[in-house]
Chains A and B, each alone.
Chain A
Amino acid sequence: MTTTRPTTPARPAGPAAQRVTQARVIRSEWTKLRTQPSTAWSLLAVALIVGVGALYSLLRVTRPPTDPAAVASFDPTAVSLTGVQLAELAVGILGVLLVAGEYATGTIRATFAAVPRRLPVLWGKAVVVGLATLVLSLPAALAAFLVGQSILSGEGLDIALSDPGVARAVLGSALYLSAVGLLGLGLGALLRSTAAAVAGLFGVLFGPQLLAGLLPAAWSDRIYPYLPVPAGVAVTAVQPDPVFSLAPWSGFAVFCLYVAVVLALAAWRLGRRDA
């Protein structure tokens, strides 16, 4: 390495020009997201949405439903969007890593030294994760739907995007994934450790349903629709179950409320704890 004489380049701009703004922090977080290796998780999510949907559609088309009850309950949209259930883990982990990864590597201290008020960092990451997951998963969900339907059409099992509730279910799948990404981000900021936050993510996604199963049936049936995932996936179904599910948008609103609570807790702790 060659010795470089210390240079003192002219001040780039006046002090007002170097203000930290939310828009600037969003830009910075976008740079971080696109330059960190774990962003590959988002591509995995896309592959899962499209690949698993196509595989499951192939599986179903080789063994089409035969008895009338099975034919009546066959949901071609749900079959083609099966991958969303797996992709939620990938986007959740992406959210976790974007913030817990900074704690693990110590980057968070450089980040907070640059943005000492801290909260703009959390909001910046939320905007970036939310939008990036939405922008990736919407075309992926649409592709999964179209590929799946073209496979199912072999047995005449397909449905059209213009049928009632179908377009909303495809859009809803992308919105749901985006919200799971934010949930992962909130858990990462709250728990700081990657392992703890990933465990927390699995806990929030799968735990409540398991615990509800331990309750008396009369209770569990009543609270089940309000649990995070059952509420959230209502928007991804063409016809949500009238008993075990809320209406599509109310369910999604309930899920967003859970996410908002986690983010609010994360914000509250972020301002108080030592970095």
Chain B
Amino acid sequence: MIEAHGLTKRYGDKLAVDDLTFTVRPGMVTGFLGPNGAGKSTTMRMILGLDAPTGGSVTVNGKPYREHAAPLREVGALLDARSVHPGRSAYHHLLALAQTSGIGRSRVDEVVDAVGLGGAARKRAGGFSLGMGQRLGIAAALLGDPRTVILDEPVNGLDTEGIRWIRSLLRGLAAEGRTVFVSSHLMSEMALTAQHLIVIGRGRLIADTGMEEFIAAAAPSLVRVRSTDPAALAALLRSGDVAVSGAEDGALAVSGLSTDQVGRLAGAAGITLLELTAQQASLEEAFMDLTRDAVEFRAPTTGGAQQ
């Protein structure tokens, strides 16, 4: 369980995290979503007590992280896969971390095997690929058999097989009743893994919702319809709840009506339809819509390209 109340972090005159209040519950995977620069990593560092909040507070399993006597037992975290001395072997990196909490060598061997590092664990971590670095970071997060797992962008640099492995690992950890908090800037990845979503943009909370509700609410279906007389059809369909907009090829995009309803209305009015398709807005688009105003860094040309 992670509970943030009015969590705020200011760097100079820039608000990186702005009055965040949310709860991450055990037993499910909670996705922490936001564009690059939204404040996800800063929030995670504050949860771990690495950065001190400017305002507000955050607790893990009931206490500020610093106050736990057995911290690795409470939280396992992957913040940055590169936070390893490049000249040290993965095994010794893990061993040094384990020893702070009296965790034995056998447990180090277990996590090395669990993440599939195997023989590479005895090699210098500096020679690791990004994917192996991620596996090492995840091994470190699992060392203390923690009740809460916090992973910042864990799929970065992993191949397809690694991504599948992460998904099943996260679901498995959640199924055991642990709190699992995973950040990503990829909605599509979260859609496959998370049951709950916390979305932030420019440091502010945008959504705190179940995955299914998010999909239902954020992705209204559109009907694409092409006819011999678009102007008449648009006039016919347009009403209070129904929005109609024109596409470049003469087709209309209709929201608020199903394909069945559009077909029947057109038939009754004697308008010939050439094409009638239901279009589900992709999750990625829903996420883009939600965070459009909150994107920190964007190339100037992409603004109108979505329409």
Contacts and interface: CB of A to CB of B under 8 A. Distances in A.
Contact of B51 (A9, A21, A274): A274
Nearest to B84: A107
Interface string A235-275: 00000000000000000000000000000000000001011
A116 interface: yes
A31 B73 contact: no
Q: Which 9 A-B pairs have the closest CB atoms?
A: A106-B83, A4-B116, A28-B99, A6-B169, A18-B70, A37-B87, A35-B92, A274-B51, A116-B66
B113 interface: yes
A12 B70 contact: no
Interface string B89-118: 100110111111111101100110111101
Interface in A74-127: 101-102, 105-117
A31 B94 CA distance: 10
Contacts of B165: 3-4, 6
A4 B106 CA distance: 18
B151 to A, nearest CB: 12
A133 to B, nearest CB: 20
A63 interface: no
Given A3-B165, A12-B107, A18-B101, A113 B96 contact: no
B99 A24 contact: yes
A132 B33 CA distance: 47
11 contacts: A7-B110, A12-B103, A12-B104, A18-B102, A32-B96, A110-B140, A112-B49, A113-B50, A114-B97, A116-B66, A116-B71
A20 B101 contact: yes
A66 B229 CA distance: 118
Contact of B83 (A16, A17, A110): A110
Given A20-B100, A28-B96, A32-B92, 14 more contacts: A1-B161, A17-B102, A18-B103, A19-B102, A25-B100, A28-B97, A32-B96, A35-B92, A36-B85, A105-B82, A106-B83, A116-B48, A274-B52, A275-B51
B82 A7 contact: no
* Max chain B Cβ within 10 angstroms of own Cβ: one of A2, A3, A17, A274: A274
Contacts of B145: 9, 11-12
B102 to A, nearest CB: 5
A21 B96 contact: no
Given A7-B113, A12-B107, A101 B85 contact: yes
B199 interface: no
B37 interface: no
A2 B118 CA distance: 9
Nearest to A11: B145
Interface of A: 1-9, 11-13, 15-21, 24-25, 27-29, 31-32, 35-38, 101-102, 105-117, 272, 274-275
Interface of B: 45, 48-52, 65-66, 68-73, 75, 77, 79-80, 82-89, 92-93, 95-104, 106-107, 110-111, 113-116, 118, 131-132, 135, 140, 144-145, 161-162, 164-165, 168-169, 172-173, 176
A145 B160 CA distance: 63
Given A3-B116, A20-B71, A106-B83, A31 B51 contact: no
Contacts of A9: 107, 110-111, 114, 145
Contacts of A12: 103-104, 106-107, 145
Contacts of A5: 168
Given A6-B172, A35-B88, A35-B89, A15 B50 contact: no
B48 A113 contact: yes
A26 B85 CA distance: 18
Contacts of B107: 9, 12
B87 A272 contact: no
B50 A275 contact: yes
A222 B262 CA distance: 99
Contacts of A32: 85, 88, 92, 96
Contact of B80 (A8, A13, A106, A115): A106
Given A6-B165, A6-B172, A19-B69, A272 B88 contact: no
Nearest to B48: A113
Contacts of B66: 116-117
Contacts of A115: 71, 100
Contact of A24 (B95, B102, B162, B164): B102
Give the interface centre of B106, B131, B144, B145 by most chain A CB atoms within 10 Å: B145
